[in-house]
Structures are given as structure tokens and as C-alpha cells.
Structure 1
Amino acid sequence: MDWIGIGVIIIGIAFLILVFLLIKPLNKLTGVIAGLKGTTDNLPQQVSDITSEVKTTISSTRDTLNQVTEQTKKLSPIFTIIQNAGEATRDLASHMAFLAEKMKSKSTSGSTFVERNNLEGIYGAVTLGYMMYQHTNTKKSDNR
């Protein structure tokens, strides 16, 4: 039993030396864990602050999008008017071009006379006047 007692004492002394060697690293580890605890204690408040800022930002974005939607709804009739005016202008231009071509083809002297005397503008003005005259007459007949 003497040898067992001596073995236990040697093992105890080895553990005692190990404890003395590990005191300094364990104290440093304790400091790191305490710092980590201090950091994580503030974490819930920081997360709460961030989520409240995100909620405010999302709310502001939603309000801005609602305002843009309302303004777009207000502008929609204007875009419709612009579209209608564009279609009317296109119809008018195509009708004028058709009438000008028709009058040009009906001219008895031929197109060389028109080109030689620079009368293309006059044809356009006459066509416009004729078209307006026809349009006025059709409106008067529609109103009766």
C-alpha cells in the first residue's frame, strides 16, 4: 500500500503543478467571458433599436409609395388626354397626307409643274383648308 500512496501523492503533486500553470490562462479566459457577457447584455437593446429604425423606415417607404400612387392616379386622366391628342394628330396627319396625295394625283399638269414652281406648300395649305371645311360641314350636319 505504500507504493499506492506514493503514486497518489505524485499524481496529486502533478495536478497541483498543473493547476498553478493553468491559473494565468484561466484568469484571462474569465476576463474574456466577462467581456463577452458585457457585450451580449447590450445586444437585446441594440436589436430592439435596429428593429424600431427598420419599422420606421418601412413605414416611411409605405407612405411615400401611397403618395406616389395617389399622384399617379391624379395624372392618369392627363396621360389619357395626351394619348387621345396623339391619336387625333396621327389621324389628322394621315388624312391630310391622303388628301394631299389624292389632290396631287388629280392635278392635270403633272407633278413637274408643281415641283418647278415650288407649289408643294400651297398644296398642303389648300389640303388643310379643304379638310377643315369638310370637318366643319360634317360637324354641322351631325348637330342637326
Structure 2
Amino acid sequence: MSLTGLGVLLIGVAFLLLAIFLARVLNRLAGVLSGVNETMAALPKQMNQLLGETGNLIHTSTQTLADTNKKLESLTPLFQIVGDIGDTTRTYSSSLVDVVDSAKSKVEQADEAKRNEKIGGLYGIAALGYYTVRKRNEIKNQKTVRPRKLYVTGEQRAFDIERMKQEAKEAATIGKYTADDK
């Protein structure tokens, strides 16, 4: 055997191996293609089932939507009633706010002098009550008081009460004891 024969033999073996490899690849490709063929054959049946299910789904959705519309129609009067109640409540509360604002403005515009006179009178009444209670306690604690001393003490107390009333009026006039409303 010569080198040419040996080269031809090697080329023949290479072609044989290549043919075996290609046969296996082609055999696998034939299997894949037969699987695709089976899938393609089953596809029209599956599409028919899918379209049938889709039709059923659309029909069910339509029925559900119709049922929902009927129920909403029955609830519409309820929503209208709630809306009317809300409007009435809003109207009532706005009129109440107007009344409160009006009363507040009237109170703010009250005559300051009358308020001061009332406060001065209250201070005078409080001072008189304090003097009366204090004098009653002194009388209870003392055994006997001479009339002259009692008269002088009463005159002094009356003077003190008048002085306190005057101080209360002055304090009320300058607003010393009033809260700052503004």
C-alpha cells in the first residue's frame, strides 16, 4: 500500500464517521419534526377549545356586568338620599356658623363702659360680702364691744368699702382685671 492508498483509506474512514454523525443528527431532527407535526395537528383542536372557553368567559362577564348594573340601579336612590342629607347638613352647619359669627361680633361690639360698670359693681358686692363675713367673725370672737368703738369701726369700714369700690371702678375703667379678648 502506498501513501496514496493510505490517504484514500483515511479519507474514506473520515467520510464514514461524518456520515454516521450526520445520520444521528438527521435522525434526531426527524424526531423533533415529528413532535412539531403532532403539535401542529393538535393545535386546531386546542384553538377551538380556547375560543370556546373565551366565548364562555365573555358571556359570563356580560351577565356579571348586567347584574352589577341592576344592583347599582337599585342603590342609586340610596346614594341620592345620602347626597340630600349631606346637602342639608352642610346648609344647616353653614347657617349655624353664620349665627355664631353674628353672636361673636355682637359680643365683641359690646359697650366697654357697661362691662366695666358691671365689673365694678361685682367688686363692690364682693368687698361688702367680705366685710360682712369678717365683721360677723369679729363679733363672734369678741365678748362685748362698746357702742362708740363699734360706731367708729363701722365708719372706718364704710370708708374702706367706698375706697375699694372706687379702686375697683378705676381698675375696671382701665381694663386692669379684664381678659384680653382680641
- Cα separation, partners in 2 of 1:105 and 1:36, compared to 1, 3 Å: closer
Per the normalisation by structure 2, the TM-score is 0.43
Highest RCO, 1 vs 2 (Cα 8 Å, sep ≥ 6): 2
Q: How big is each residue's C-alpha offset from its partner over 1:72-93, in whole Å with a ceiling of 9 and x where there is no partner?
A: 1211111111111111111111
CA distance, structure 1, for counterparts of residue 107 and residue 72 of structure 2: 51
Counterpart in 1 of 2:58? 58
Partners of 1:104 and 1:27 in 2: how far apart? 101
Which residue identity lines up with residue 100 of structure 1 in the other structure?
V
AA of the residue aligned to 1:88: T
In structure 2, distance between residues paired with 1:76 and 1:89: 20
**Counterpart in the other structure of 2:49:** 49
What's 2:92 paired with? Answer: 92
TM-score (norm 1): 0.53
Closer/same/farther in 2, CA of residues 107 and 38 from structure 1, 3 Å limit? closer
Q: For 1:55 and 1:100, how far apart are their aligned partners in 2? A: 65
Quote the Cα distance in structure 2 between the aligned partners of 1:25 and 1:102: 99
Shift in CA distance, 96/29, structure 1 to aligned 2, threshold 3 Å: closer
Percent of counterpart pairs with the same letter? 28
Q: Which residue of 1 aligns with 2:13?
A: none
Partner of 1:26: 26
1:72 aligned residue: 72
Structure 1 residues 11-50: Cα deviation after superposition (integer angstroms, max 9, x where no partner): xxxxxx7xx6554443333332222211211111111111
Q: Residue 45 of structure 2 aligns to which amino acid in structure 1?
A: Q
RMSD of the TM alignment (CA)? 3.3
Matched residue, 2:35: 35
The letter for the 1-side match of 2:84 is N
Mapped partners of 1:23, 1:97: distance in 2: 97
Count of residues in correspondence between the two structures: 98
SS at match of 1:52: helix
> Distance in 1 between the 2:108 and 2:35 partners?
104
One-letter code aligned to 2:49: D
Q: Shift in Å at residue 101 of structure 1?
A: 2.8
